[in-house]
Amino acid sequence: MAAQSRGQWGAAGTGLAVFILLMTFLVIPVGKVIYVAFVDVNTGRLTLLNFADFFNTSLFRESFVNSIYVAGMSVLFAALISMPLAYFTTRFNFAGAAVIQTLGVIPLIMPPFVGAVAMQLLFGANGSVNLLLDEHFGFTIPFMEGLNGVIMVESIHYFPFILINLSASLNNIDRAMEESAQNLGAHGLRLFRRIVFPLAMPGFAAGAALVFLKVFDDLGTPLLLNVNNMLAPQAYLRISSIGISDPMGYVISVILVAFSLLSLWTSYLATRGRDYASVQKGGGGLMKRDLKPWEKAGAWAVIILILLLVLSPHIGLLLLSFGTIWSFSVLPDGFTLAHYGEVFSTALPYITNTLLYAGLAALLDVLVATAIAYVVWRTELPGRKVLDYMGTAAVAVPGVVLGIGYLRTFHDFNLPIVGKPLASWWVIIVIALMIRRLPYALRAATAALQQVAVSLEEAAQNLGAGRFTTVRRIVVPLMAGGIAAGFVTAFATAAVELSATLMLVSAESDAPLAYGIYVYMQTAAGRGPGAALGVLAVIIVGVATYLSHRFVERTRAAHEVTARDG
Amino acid sequence: MQSQKITIENLHLSFGDTHVLKGIDLEIAPGEFFAFLGPSGSGKSTLLRAIAGFGPLPRGRILIGDEDVTSEPPWTRNVGMVFQSYALWPHMSVWKNVAFGLEERNTPREEIAPRVEQALETVGLAHLARRRPSQLSGGQQQRVALARTIVVEPRVLLLDEPLSNLDANLRIQMRRELLALQRKLGITTIFVTHDQEEANTTADRMAVLDAGVIQQSGPPMELYDNPVNLFVAGFLGSANRIEGKVITDKGRKMFVAQGGITIPVPDAEPEGAASAVFRPQNVHLMTPQAAAESSTVCFTGKVTHSEFLGSLIRYSLDLAGSEILVDEPHQAGQKVLPEGSEITACITSNQVRILRQ
Amino acid sequence: MKHAFFKSAGLAAVVALALLSGVSARAMENKLVVVTSFPKDLTSVFKKAFEAKYPGVKVEMLKKKTTAGVKYIQETASNNTSDLFWASAPDAFEVLKGDGLLAKYQVKAKGIPEKVGAFPINDPDGYYKGFAASGYGFMWNTRYLKAKKLPAPREWEDLTKPVYFGHVGMSAPSRSGTTHLTVETVLQGDGWEKGWALWKRIAGNFKTVTERSFGVPSGVNSGEFGIGIVIDFFGFSSKATGYPVEFHYPTVTTLVPANIAIVTKAPHPKNAATFIEFLLSPEGQKLLLDPKIQRLPVRPELYKGPAKNLPNPFTGGIGAKVKFDVKKSKARYNLVNSMFDVMITYRLDDLRAATKAIHAAARALAAKPNAEGQKMLDQARALVAALPIDEAKSLDPAFAAIFKKKRKKATDKVTGRQAEVEQKWDEMVKANYAKARMLAEKAAGMAR
C-alpha cells in the first residue's frame, strides 16, 4: 500500500468530488424518501401513521404478501431449473456441459419485461401452448394467470444467477470431502444431504438472495403483465396517478429498500464464516463419472426441455416482431418486415437516446468507479471506506425508489440554462442509470485494480513519476481491460433499465428504448414494433456481453506477464 | 479389530488411454506397516486409492482377507483412509466429524459417544471436540482425520502421504506417533510417501514404485543394501555409480572401469557391461600407505568440492571423469581437505553392488 | 490502449456538450406543448400532419394518464409550461375548469353541430371543445367466441347470461375515465338500483378487472378473454389493425365527446389556438379516420364520404337513449368509483363465486323446479344486488364530499371517514356475497 503524503491532494480532491456526487444523487434522495414516509402529511411531524395506514389497507397488505410470495417462488423455480443443470455439469463427464454454459447466458441478455408480452402470447390462458394442450388433451395449465405469470417470467430470466453460483460452489468442493465420506460408508442421497449440500449451500444462498432482491424490486415485468397488486407497481401507480405528495408511495419505497437490505444481509450471513474454500485444499470438484446411455438420453431430454423454456421469451419475441396479427392462435397469422421498418423510421430517436444515455452513464460509471477503487485501495485517505460503502450501497436501492427520490428532491430545483427543473431534464435519467450501475462498475474496477501489483506503481514512483502520472501511465492502462469490461456491462444493463426510467421520463422525445417498448406495448398496433424494438435491445445487450467477455479474456492474457513478475 | 491381509493380483489400471498401473502383484501380511514409496507419477497413490475403491475399475484382483473387493464401491469395503488434505468437513465440529462413520453404520446412540471420546483420547485431542476444523493446526487436523478413521475399526488403514503437509519437526514427531499407534492397534496399514526417510523409519516392509510398476519390495534395509536396479538404488539414498564391465581375469570375475578401477566380484556375476554402485558412507578416506596395506579396493582422485553437512563432510571426488561422493563423519576440530588435494578412497568389495539397469 | 481510452472519453465529452447546447437551444424554439392522455397512435398522426402544415412549430406530446395529466397541470400551475390539455373524459376538464386552469376560447371553425347524441359537443361555458365523439359498448374476439361456441352479445343484459361466465373483461371506473363514463351511463340509463344490479351481474361473469383501459382491448385482441367492455374506438382501431374482433353499441349507451382545451397562461397561446382550429377543420377531422385511430368525427359531412364505414352519431342511431347528465356524474364521481371498487373490484373473487353458484342453481332449478329452492335463489340474487346506499344519498353533497380521492388515503381527517365508510361497505358486501353463495348452493341442492 503506497502511503505517501505527496500527491495526497489530488486523491483527496477526487475523493471529495465523488463523495459530493454520491451524496447528492444517492444518499440525499433516498434519505428523503425514507424521511417522507415517516412524516405526517398534515402536521409535518414524524409519525408511524403512514405505515399504520399501509398495513390497514387490504390492497397494500395483499401487495406486500404478493411481492414476497412472487420473489420467493421465483427463487424456488429458478432453483428447480438450476439444480438438474448444475448436477449434470458437476457430477458427470457430460458433453452437453458447453450447452449448459450457454444456457447460463441466454436469459440474461433479455430483460424480463421485454419478453413478458411474448410469454403471455405463448403461455397465456389462450396462448399457443394452452391452445395446443386444450385441442389435443382437453386441459390447460394456468402458466400465466395473475402472479404465476410474473413468477414464470422472472424465474426463467434469473435462474442463471443460481446456476452459476451453485455450479461454482459444487466445483469448489474438494474431491476428498466426498471420498472421505464414501470411505466411511456414506453414498447416494445421504452423502448429498450430509456433505455435498451443506458445502454447496453458501454459494447457493448468495445466488438465491440476489434473485429474491431483484424480483422483489422489479417494476417493468408486473406492469407489462398487468399485475398491479404487488409493491413496486403500486408505488409507481400511486406516484404517477396521485402525485409525489402521496405518502403510500414512500412507505412502499421504505419497505422495498428494507427488504433489499435484508436480502443482502442474508446473503452476507450465509457466506461469512462459511468460506469453506479456505479449509478445503484440493478443489477439483465432485467426482465425475460417465453416463450410461439411457442416463445420457434422460439428461439431454431435461436439458432440451429447459432450453426450450429458457428460449421461449426470445422465440415469442421474434415471432411477435415478425408477425402480422397474433390472436387466439398458436402462431401469428402471417409474417412481415413492416414492424422493423417502423422501428428504424419512427423509433430511431429511442435508439439514439438509449445509446446516448447508456453510453454517458457507463462512461461516468467507469470514471467514478476507477476513482473510488483507487482512492479506497491505493491511498491512505481517512474515511475512504465510506466511498466504497456508498458506491456499493446503491445495489440495495430499487429503481422505483431512486426515481421517486429524484422527483421529490429535484422537481423544484430549476436549472439555469436549461430552463426546467432538474427532474424533467433528460440528464437526470443518465444520472439515475449511472447510480444504479455503479456497484457493478465498482466491483469490476476493484477487481481490475487488485490485479495490478502495487510493486508496479512503486517501481514507477521509484523512477520519478508522480502519483497522477503513475495512475495515468501505469495503473489505468493495466486496468484497461477490466475497465472496458465494466463499461460494456454497465452500458448493456443501463440500455434496458426500466424501473427508474419509467418514473423519470417526462417527454417522449427524451425516452430511451425500454420506455419505447413499454409505450408501444400499450397500443393495439404497437405490439409488433414493440417486439422489434425488444429484439434490438436484446441484440445490443448480447453484443455488449460478448465484447465484455472478450475484454476480460484479453486482460487475463495480458496479466500473465505481470503475474510472473508479481 | 481383526486386521486382515491384503493381496493384489496382476492389477492393471488405466485413466482413459493412460496405463497407470501395470501388473501389480503384492501381498501385505496382517498387522504389517507397509509403505508405498516412489516419485510423483509412479502410481503409488493410485494404487492406494484403488484399494480403497476410488478411481476407474481396474483389471486384476484386490483381496482383503479372503474377500475379493475389486468391484465393490468404496462405502462397503470398510477400509479406513486418511487423505493427504485430511478432508475434514468444515461445517461439522471435530466431534461430528469423528462420529460420522459410526452414524453411517447405524451404531446405537449410546455407543457412539464413548467410542468417539475414546478415539479422540487415543490421538490426544479430547479437549478439542467442540472445535471446528478451521480452528485447528495442521497436526491437530491430521489427528482428527486419524481418529475419524480408527473409530470405525476398519480392517485396513490407508494413509495417503499423511505427513507431507506438516513442517519438518512435526513430521518426525508425527511419524513416531503414527508408528506407535499402529503397533498398539495392530492394524494392517499402508502408508504412501515420496520420502524415503519416512518409509525407512516406519515401514516393516515397503514397495518401491516407478512408472506404474513395483520395482522391488521387501524390508527397508534389504532394499537399501541390495537394490535390484539402478532406480531403487538411487531412490533410497545417495549412490555412487561407475560404468564399466565385468570381465574374467585369471579365472576370477572382476569389474573394471576407467582410471584403473578393479573390483573383485562374485563368480556368479555374468560378464558384460554393468554399473558398480556403492554408498558414499561406505567409502573411507585413507592415507596411501594404509590403503596399500588394506585388502580393500582403493582409488585415488582429486577433491573437486566439499560440503559441510553437520554430521558429516561430503567430498566430491573426480575419479577419471566420474564424480564420486565420499561421506566422512565429522569430528569437531577435524580439518576439511581443500579442493584440489589428491586423496585415496577405499571400499570393501562386498559393499559394492553390480547392477545392470 | 490508453490512447483509445482517452479518445473515447474525449469523444463522449464532445457529444455531451453538443447535446447540452442543443437542448438549451431547443428551450427557446417555436413550440407547442400538449399534455395528452391519447396514445401515440393518435398523437403521432396529428403531430406529423400539423408540423407538415405549419413548419417551424415543433409539437411536443407529453403522454400522461388522464388523472396524471390533471395532476401534472395542477402541480406545475405556478410555473406552467403546457399549452393544451387533450383528453377524452369531460370530467377531467371540469376539474381543471373548476380550478381555473383552463382558458376560454372561441372556436372560429364553422359547421360543427351543438350536440352529438344527447350530449353537447362543447363546454357551454366555452372552456373546452369536443373534437371527436365516442360511445361505449362491447368488442369481442371472433375466433374466441367461435372456439368456445359463444353467441355475440347485443345488449348489456346479454352479458349477465351464464354462458359468458369467466369470459368478460373490463377496467374499473377509478382507473379509467372512459370506463367511469360507461358505468355512469348505465346507472343513469337504467336507474341507480337496477343499474348497479346489472353491473354486479355482469361483473359476476368477469375474467378480470384490468388496471388500465387499454388492458381490455389488449386482452380481447390477444384472446385472453373473449368479450371486453370498451370505448368504441378501441374496437374500431383493433379491427382496422387487422385483429379478428368486432364491436357493437348496445341500445343503452351514450356518446361523449373527447375534448381539447387551452391551459391558463399557456406559453404559446397562438400555436395552441392554431392547433385547435386544425383539429376541427375538415382536414384535421379526416385524420380521425386513420385505422389506428377510428374515432367518430364531429363534422357530419364526413359521414357521407370518408367516414361512411363508421356509425353516424348524428342520425340518432346511437347514444340518444340516455340523456347524460354531466352534473350528476360530477357530483358523485369519486363515490361511484369507490362503490365499484369496494363492491366489485376488490371483492371480485367472492362475487364470482356467488355468481357461479347462482348460475348453477338456476340451471338446476330450470331442470327440476322447486318453489323453496326458487325462493332461496331469489334471495341470493337480492343479496348480491344489495346496495349500501340509495341514489338520494349518492347525490347528497355532504356525503359525496367524503370521497376525496380515487384511492384510499386515511391520513386526511375527511378521508379518514372515507376509509371508515368503505370498510363498512366492504364488510356488508363480503357477508352478502358469502351468504348468497351459501343460499344458492342450498337452492341447487333442493333441485335434486
Q: Which sequence spans correspond to the domains of chain B?
A: 6-235, 240-355
Q: At a CB cut-off of 8 Å and minimum separation 6, what does A536 contact? A: A343, A351, A513
What is the distance between the alpha carbons of residues A346 and C44, in angstroms, rounded to a whole number? 10
Does the distance separating the beta carbons of A195 and B89 come in below 8 Å? yes
Q: Burial of B268 by CB count in 10 Å (0-12 exposed, 13-18 middle, 19+ buried)?
A: exposed
Greatest distance between any 2 Cα atoms in chain C? 93
**Residues C149, C155, C159, C161: what is their CA dihedral angle, to the nearest 10 degrees?**
-70
- Give the single-character DSSP code of A33: H
Helices (H), A411-526: 427-450, 454-462, 467-470, 476-495, 499-504, 513-520
Identify which of C12, C39, C346 has the shortest CB distance to residue A523.
Answer: C39
Does the distance separating the beta carbons of A425 and C23 come in below 8 Å? yes
Does the distance separating the beta carbons of A240 and C243 come in below 8 Å? no
pLDDT of residue C107: 86
DSSP element (H, E) containing A133: helix A128-137
Q: Left, alpha or beta for C294 (phi > 0: left; psi -120 to 50: alpha)?
A: left
- Tens-digit pLDDT profile for residues B39-69: 988 999 999 999 998 888 999 999 999 999 9
Region A163-180 average pLDDT: 84
pLDDT of residue A3: 40
Chain C positions touching A56 (Cβ under 8 A) are 410, 419
Identify which of B53, B75, B83 has the shortest CB distance to residue A186.
Answer: B75
pLDDT of residue B125: 92
With a cut of 70, say whether residue A302 has pLDDT above it.
yes
Region A315-339 average pLDDT: 89
Q: Burial of B66 by CB count in 10 Å (0-12 exposed, 13-18 middle, 19+ buried)?
A: exposed
Is the separation of the CB atoms in B86 and B39 below 8 Å? no
Neighbours of chain C (3+ CB pairs under 8 A): A
Considering only CA atoms, which of C85, C61, C88 is closest in space to residue C71? C85
* Cα distances (Å, whole numbers) of residue A523 to A519, B176, C140, C171, C213: 7, 84, 17, 16, 11
In order, the DSSP letters of A392-440 are HHGGGS-HHHHHHHHHHHHTT-B-TTT-SBGGGSTHHHHHHHHHHHHHH
Does the distance separating the beta carbons of C411 and A42 come in below 8 Å? yes
pLDDT of residue A278: 45
Q: Considering the domain boundaries, does residue A414 fall inside one? A: no
pLDDT of residue C211: 76
With a cut of 90, say whether residue A470 has pLDDT above it.
no
What is the distance between the alpha carbons of residues A299 and A296, in angstroms, rounded to a whole number? 5
Q: How confident is the model at residue A19 (pLDDT cuts 50, 70, 90)?
A: very high
pLDDT of residue C406: 46
Does the distance separating the beta carbons of A41 and C410 come in below 8 Å? no
pLDDT of residue A83: 85
pLDDT of residue B298: 86
Q: How confident is the model at residue C120 (pLDDT cuts 50, 70, 90)?
A: confident
What is the distance between the alpha carbons of residues C69 and C85, in angstroms, rounded to a whole number? 8
Identify which of C64, C211, C410 has the shortest CB distance to residue A226.
Answer: C211
Q: Left, alpha or beta for A135 (phi > 0: left; psi -120 to 50: alpha)?
A: alpha
Neighbours of chain B (3+ CB pairs under 8 A): A
| Percentage with pLDDT > 90 across chain A | 19
- Tens-digit pLDDT profile for residues C326-374: 788 888 888 898 889 888 887 888 899 999 999 999 988 888 888 888 8
Is the separation of the CB atoms in C178 and C213 below 8 Å? yes
Instruction: Give C 74-133 residues with CB within 8 A of chain A.
Output: 75, 79, 81
**Residues C344, C347, C353, C359: what is their CA dihedral angle, to the nearest 10 degrees?**
-10
With a cut of 70, say whether residue A522 has pLDDT above it.
yes
Count of helices and strands (H, E) across chain A: 26, 0
Give the distance from CA B101 to its chain's centroid: 30
pLDDT of residue A462: 77
Region B119-143 average pLDDT: 91
| CB burial string C429-443: b at 16+ within 10 A, e below | bbebbeebbebbbbb
Which site among A229, A328, A360, A476 would you substitute to test the C interface, given the most C Cβ atoms closer than 10 Å to its Cβ?
A328
Domains, in order of start, for chain C: 28-133+257-315 (3.40.190.10), 136-253 (3.40.190.10), 332-448 (no CATH)
Instruction: Give C 202-241 residues with CB within 8 A of chain A.
Output: 208, 210-212, 214-215, 217-218, 221-225, 234, 237-238, 241
What is the distance between the alpha carbons of residues B178 and A186, in angstroms, rounded to a whole number? 26
Q: Considering the domain boundaries, does residue A431 fall inside one? A: no
Which site among A42, A327, A354 would you substitute to test the C interface, given the most C Cβ atoms closer than 10 Å to its Cβ?
A327
Do chains C and A touch by CB distance (3+ pairs < 8 Å)?
A: yes
* Cα distances (Å, whole numbers) of residue C83 to A372, C30, C103: 45, 12, 10
Chain B positions touching A276 (Cβ under 8 A) are 90-91
> What topology does CATH give the domain B6-235?
Rossmann fold (3.40.50)
Strand partners, C34: C61, C84
Instruction: Give A 259-288 residues with CB within 8 A of chain C.
Output: none
- The amino acid at residue A247 is P
Question: How many domains are there within chain A?
Answer: 1
Does the distance separating the beta carbons of B101 and A185 come in below 8 Å? yes
Chain C positions touching A319 (Cβ under 8 A) are none
pLDDT of residue A502: 84
With a cut of 70, say whether residue A551 has pLDDT above it.
yes
With a cut of 90, say whether residue C159 has pLDDT above it.
yes
> What topology does CATH give the domain B240-355?
OB fold (Dihydrolipoamide Acetyltransferase, E2P) (2.40.50)
User: Which has more confidence, C323 or A379?
Assistant: A379
Is the separation of the CB atoms in C253 and C321 below 8 Å? yes
Identify which of A182, A274, A276 has the shortest CB distance to residue B74.
Answer: A182
- Tens-digit pLDDT profile for residues A286-298: 667 777 888 888 8
Considering only CA atoms, which of A514, A504, A501 is closest in space to residue A540? A514
- Tens-digit pLDDT profile for residues C196-242: 999 999 999 999 888 778 889 988 988 889 999 998 888 888 888 88
- The amino acid at residue B246 is V
Query: Which of A509-523, C9-23, C185-199, C397-411 shows the lowest mean pLDDT across its residues?
Result: C9-23
Q: Considering the domain boundaries, does residue A490 fall inside one? A: no
Q: How confident is the model at residue B5 (pLDDT cuts 50, 70, 90)?
A: very high
With a cut of 90, say whether residue A225 has pLDDT above it.
no
Q: Considering the domain boundaries, does residue A419 fall inside one? A: no
| Mean pLDDT for all residues in chain A | 83
User: Which has more confidence, A410 or B212?
Assistant: B212
Residue with cell 366555452: C126
C16 vs A: CB within 8 A: yes
- Tens-digit pLDDT profile for residues A383-406: 888 888 888 888 889 988 998 889
Region A309-316 average pLDDT: 90
pLDDT of residue A565: 39
- Tens-digit pLDDT profile for residues B239-278: 999 899 999 988 888 998 887 788 888 888 888 899 999 9
Strand partners, B158: B81, B190
**Cα C60–Cα C62–Cα C68 angle in degrees, nearest 5:** 160
Residue with cell 584440489: B340
Measured in angstroms, the CA of A295 and the nearest CA of chain B are apart by 19
Using CA coordinates, name the residue in chain A closest to C72.
Answer: A243
With a cut of 80, say whether residue A196 has pLDDT above it.
yes
**Residues A376, A381, A385, A386: what is their CA dihedral angle, to the nearest 10 degrees?**
-120
pLDDT of residue A566: 37
- Tens-digit pLDDT profile for residues A487-509: 888 888 888 888 888 888 877 77
With a cut of 60, say whether residue C150 has pLDDT above it.
yes
Identify which of C41, C68, C224 has the shortest CB distance to residue A240.
Answer: C68
Does the distance separating the beta carbons of A524 and C241 come in below 8 Å? yes
| Domain containing residue A209 | 74-246+272-336
Identify which of A242, A247, A360 has the shortest CB distance to residue C411.
Answer: A247
Chain A positions touching C71 (Cβ under 8 A) are 241-243
- The amino acid at residue A499 is S
Q: How confident is the model at residue C247 (pLDDT cuts 50, 70, 90)?
A: very high
In order, the DSSP letters of A302-345 are HHHHHHHHHHHHHHHHHHHHHBS--SSSSS-S-B-SHHHHHHHH
Three-class DSSP labels, chain C: CHHHHHHHHHHHHHHHHHHHHHHHHHCCCCEEEEEECCCHHHHHHHHHHHHHHCCCCEEEEEECCHHHHHHHHHHCHHHCCCCEEEECCHHHHHHHHHCCCEECCCCCCCCCCCEECCEECCCCCCCEEEEEEECEEEEEEHHHHHHHCCCCCCCHHHHHCHHHCCCEEEECCCCCHHHHHHHHHHHHHHCHHHHHHHHHHHHCCEEEEECCCCHHHHHHHHCCCCEEEEEHHHHHHHHHHCCCEEEECCCCCCCEEEEEEEECCCCCHHHHHHHHHHHHCHHHHHHHHCCCCCCEECCHHHHHCCCCCCCCHHHCCCCCCCCCCHHHHHHCHHHHHHHHHHHHHCCHHHHHHHHHHHHHHHHHHHHCCCHHHHHHHHHHHHHHHCCCCCHHHHHCHHHHCCCCCCCCCCCCHHHHHHHHHHHHHHHHHHHHHHHHHHHHHHHHHHCC
User: Which has more confidence, A531 or A467?
Assistant: A531
Q: What is the interface size between A and C, counted as CB pairs within 8 Å?
A: 159
User: Which has more confidence, C161 or C415?
Assistant: C161
Residue with cell 423455480: A77
| Percentage with pLDDT > 70 across chain A | 92
CATH number of the domain within which A126 lies: 1.10.3720.10
Using CA coordinates, name the residue in chain C closest to A57.
Answer: C408
A49 vs C: CB within 8 A: yes
pLDDT of residue C446: 83
In order, the DSSP letters of B120-175 are HHHTT-GGGTT--GGGS-HHHHHHHHHHHHHTT--SEEEEESTTTTS-HHHHHHHH
Strand partners, B188: B156
Identify which of B84, B87, B134 has the shortest CB distance to residue A177.
Answer: B87
Is the separation of the CB atoms in A529 and A517 below 8 Å? no
- The amino acid at residue C112 is I
Query: Which of A96-100, C181-185, C262-266 shows the lowest mean pLDDT across its residues?
Result: A96-100
Chain A positions touching B86 (Cβ under 8 A) are 176
Q: At a CB cut-off of 8 Å and minimum separation 6, what does A144 contact? A: A119, A120, A123, A124, A125, A127, A152, A225
| Percentage with pLDDT > 90 across chain B | 50
- Tens-digit pLDDT profile for residues C36-95: 988 877 898 999 999 999 988 989 888 887 777 887 888 788 878 889 999 987 878 888
- Tens-digit pLDDT profile for residues A34-55: 988 888 777 778 888 888 888 8
With a cut of 70, say whether residue C27 has pLDDT above it.
no
| The most confident of B108-112, C109-113, C218-222, by mean pLDDT | B108-112
